[in-house]
A and B are shown apart, each in its own frame.
Chain A
Amino acid sequence: MKYARLIFANLLRKKTRLALTIGSFAAALFLFALLGVVGNTFSLANGVVSAHRLVITNRTSIINLLPLSYRDQILRVPGVQSITHNNWFGGVYQDPKNFFPQFVIDPQNQRRVYPELIVPKAQWQTFLNDRMGAVVGAATARRFGWKLGDRIPLTTTLYGLAGKVWDFNLDGIYHGTQPQDDQTQFWIQWAYYKESVPPQLQGQVGWYVLRIRNPDDAPRIARAVDRMFINSPNETRTETESAFAAGWVKQFANIKLLILSIGSVVFFTLLLVTGNTMATSVRERTAELAILKAIGFSDRAVLGFILAESLLIALAGCIGLVFAGVLIPALGQPLAGLLPALVVTPAVLGYGVLAAVAVGFASALLPALSARRLRVVDALRRV
């Protein structure tokens, strides 16, 4: 601690340069957190997916429907605990920009498959008894200022129902049990949907979601389900929820490669910027470092001073992670519904700090080693 004053004094000698270097770190770490969060979101590694769930879609494409009659057959496969079915409603609320996902759900079974999404019991009972009822995630309710009892009009261009206005009564608001749970969905009753769509769609569902007893059984159950409907007009593709989600996001791009590339470039650039700063700083102080050695500071101590300065800059740059924690969830608002919530997890922050420390250390290593090797006689001869 007695060296702290010396380290801080040296650190603060060029305040503009210090601020710019910390700013570089902060910007890079903000980007790091953003990439990490987006990466998590796209891979759904943040817990939105459950190992206990399988998703069954039409093998041809998700836009092709599946017969409702499959439900009971699937439920008989050993290991399947419960099953629900969903349809994409594709509704518009006032303006197409007001996007949020709407699902036609099987109200009897939805909560058995998604136990982490909590609806108060009384609200759920109201929903069950209300054919035109709807349950909405807390984030969407907050976004539009909806309250229980509100009437929500939606239009959809799907199912040959263009121009029809669907009115829904807001009966319930669900909350997720984890911060990363998607709280943007809008659930509507299968019965209401069924009676309004053309007859040929009344027995067709978009996809099934299964809850299974043991995640280890997932491959066996998936094979059993798909085998059951092989060579039928509607063959199925059964996959884990994470695989389903990964397939969904692959529509956007090879996100992992993109993130890795951008992240690498950012950190390599940061390494060069900070390395250059530290090298300049050491070069400017050659005589001072030589004097410190002359009066008895060891080579190791001098090396430690340079590394400490760089690590302090890196840690100060972690302010970028603080900004990330505040700003990224807000930046994610426009994506609501397209992707799960953008959540800056402690893991992302932890990796951010580690990355900062690693870059701080690596960028100062060469200048610090050159300071360590510095011979007093040579240094004083140069100045």
Chain B
Amino acid sequence: MISVNGNQANSLIQVRGLDKTYRRGNEDIHVLQGLNLDVDQGDFVAFMGPSGSGKTTLLNLLGGLDLPTRGSVTVAGDEITHMSRRRLTQWRARHVGFIFQMYNLIPVLTALQNVELPLLLTRLSRAERRRHVETALAIVGLSDRMQHFPRQLSGGQEQRVAIARAIVADPTFLLCDEPTGDLDRKSADEVMDLLQRLVNEHRKTVLMVTHDPLVARIAKLTLHLEKGVLVEAGARQDAAAGAVS
């Protein structure tokens, strides 16, 4: 169940009173102000809002890439806002899968090697890593492109490799920052179908920032960031996924 009231007790992701203030010159810019959010496992939430509204900032805070000015983010019982930089890095490796607008694959590595990157941080053997990578690439439908370099793939395929990289270590949740922002409609639909399948078939939790209402519609709930707080834009009843409040 997704909620912005801050009244859920056992949700997977709990955000409480989150503030983020940037200083630009002599001016304080309050990007997020007392933001609350609860997300359960298997939820798919889209964040929308105008440019500069703090969507990416929120994603960065949820992913432990940035620290809030005030407030807390708790994921699966771990309060990440007070972790050291080193612990936060380890936590990210275990819990977060990132998907970016520009794919951000390493151009000198093949699809297989790119997807393998998060597994290099684990104790898995080479053969086990290979098995996991093959599974991830099979899920995104790119088993036949394992040895291709990013420049040999289309934009949609690159993003699917990036998704495989994000899921290969079986993270607790996925953070997607404009995952279709650089894709044509057909590729965007393929990527969104894939994300939806990850939620429905693999019980993945996905939090996504997007500008595209068509893309946002695929999520269970779209939240708007307005003046630093989250506002429900409209719950969508989904019989298969259960109630959304």
A residues at B contact (CB < 8 Å): 2-3, 5-6, 9-10, 12-13, 287-288, 291-299, 376-377, 380, 383
Contact = CB atoms under 8 A, between A and B. Distances in A.
B155 interface: no
Interface stretch (B96-104, B133-141, B185-193): B96-104
A295 B119 CA distance: 10
A376 B66 CA distance: 8
A297 B126 CA distance: 18
Nearest to B126: A2
B132 interface: no
Nearest to B106: A288
Nearest to B119: A2
B66 to A, nearest CB: 5
Given A2-B126, A377-B66, A380-B100, A291 B106 contact: yes
A2 B127 CA distance: 12
Contact of A291 (B60, B90, B104): B104
Nearest to B124: A2
B121 A294 contact: no
Contacts of B65: 294, 376-377
A148 B108 CA distance: 64
A295 B114 CA distance: 11
B120 interface: yes
A287 B103 CA distance: 11
Contact of A296 (B66, B92, B102, B108): B92
B117 A295 contact: yes
A3 B120 contact: yes
Given A2-B120, A296-B92, A298-B90, 6 more contacts: A288-B106, A291-B98, A294-B63, A295-B98, A296-B93, A299-B86
Contacts of A376: 60, 65
A2 B113 CA distance: 11
Contact of A10 (B94, B98, B108): B108
Contacts of A377: 60, 65-66
A5 B113 contact: yes
A332 to B, nearest CB: 43
Question: Which 4 pairs, one residue from A and one from B, show the smallest C-beta to C-beta distance?
Answer: A296-B93, A9-B108, A291-B104, A13-B108
A13 B121 CA distance: 23
Interface of B: 60, 63, 65-66, 85-86, 89-90, 92-94, 98, 100, 102, 104, 106-109, 113, 117-118, 120-121, 126, 165
A65 to B, nearest CB: 73
Contacts of A380: 100
B120 A6 contact: yes
Given A5-B113, A376-B65, A380-B100, A296 B121 contact: yes
A376 B65 CA distance: 6
Contacts of B118: 295-296
B99 to A, nearest CB: 11
Contacts of A299: 85-86, 89
A376 B165 CA distance: 17
Contact of B109 (A9, A287, A298): A9
Nearest to B101: A380
A299 B98 CA distance: 18
B122 to A, nearest CB: 9
Nearest to A383: B102
A12 B108 contact: yes
Contacts of B60: 376-377
Nearest to B57: A377
Contacts of B93: 295-297
